[in-house]
Amino acid sequence: MKYLILFASLVIVSCNSGKRQFPKAENALDAGREFIDATLKGDFEKADFYMLADEENKKLLQQYQTKYNTQSKQDQFALKQSVINILEVNDVSEKETIIIYSNSFNKVAHKIKVVNMNGNWLADFKYTFDGNL
C-alpha cells in the first residue's frame, strides 16, 4: 500500500510539472556549453531553455532541429557521443562573450555569442550564422 501511494504521488507530480527543469547557467561558459551540448545531443527543449528567446533564434533552432532530424542515425549517434572542444573564449563585455568551439565529430570551428539578459546567461544562436556583434 505504501508503494502504491508513493507511485501515485510521483505520477501526479510528474504530470503537473509539464516541462523539464534545467539549472540556471552561472556564467557565459556554462550557458554556451549547455546550449552546444543540447544541440549536439538533439535535446532541443534544453537548447531552447539556454537560448535567448527571440523570433530569429527560435526560427534558426527549428531549422537546425529539422536538419538534425534528417541526418542518419549513425551521424546523430556520433554527434551525441562527441566532445565539445572550447577553442577560445572572448569576453566582449561584462554582458557578452563569444565562444569559439568545435566538436570531436566534425572538428569544424563554430562560434556562439552568449549574453547576460537580466541576470540570465543565454546563447544568441543567430550570431553563429551572421557573426555581427
CA distances from 11 to 6, 15, 19, 22, 121 (A): 9, 6, 14, 20, 32
Euclidean distance between CA atoms 67 and 16, whole angstroms: 32
Q: The whole model's pTM is what?
A: 0.82
Question: Domain spans of the chain?
Answer: 27-130
**Residue 118 scores a pLDDT above 70:** yes
For residue 122, CA distances in Å to 42, 60, 109 come to 18, 15, 20
Structure confidence by residue, pLDDT tens digits, 61-112: 999 999 999 999 999 999 999 999 999 999 999 999 999 999 999 899 999 9
CA 59/CA 80 separation, integer angstroms:
22
**CATH architecture of the domain with residue range 27-130:** Roll (3.10)
